[in-house]
Structure 1
């Protein structure tokens, strides 16, 4: 399983949905709160080119935007499909 990082902010429904999907698939991930961690925000901006969470990084693949937009890519990445 590749390294997985989920960049989040508190109170974000899409962030919670990404985390729930990861948990339902048994995928271990590191959560980084970009509201409280300036270094994580800067890291997210470099990796994804966006300033808005959630951002999901699975291996070298980066997914951003609403949960429903990220979901197909996340599922494919978790299944080992590029």
Structure 2
């Protein structure tokens, strides 16, 4: 069974869009949470990742944060392991 995937984003974020493109390209279903418009999502992101800056990607129990280029290797490995 595929792990739950959540992407915490803010509008106009190029790295957020890149994470979503990668996941869509791999056929991975995910839930997007806009932390700018949803204070509960911001609190959830901070609790899970310990950061205040999007994007944050959660795949199962794994948490990835930072620029897309920093997240990409981990995201690909996590998606590969989930198949």
Both structures adopt the same fold (TM-score exceeding 0.5) = yes
CA RMSD of aligned residues (A): 0.8
Aligned twin of 1:20: 21
Deviations 1:5-31 (A, max 9, x none): 000000000000000000000000000
When the two structures are aligned, how many residues end up with a matched partner? 81
Tell me, which stretches of 5 or more residues in structure 1 are unaligned?
none
Deviations 1:17-58 (A, max 9, x none): 000000000000000000000000000000000000000000
Distance in 1 separating the partners of 2:11 and 2:53: 12
Aligned twin of 2:59: 58
Distance in 2 separating the partners of 1:65 and 1:26: 22
Distance in 2 separating the partners of 1:55 and 1:72: 14
Please list, as runs of the form range in 1=range in 2, the aligned pairs for 1:1-82 lying within 5 A after superposition: 1-80=2-81
Distance in 1 separating the partners of 2:14 and 2:47: 23
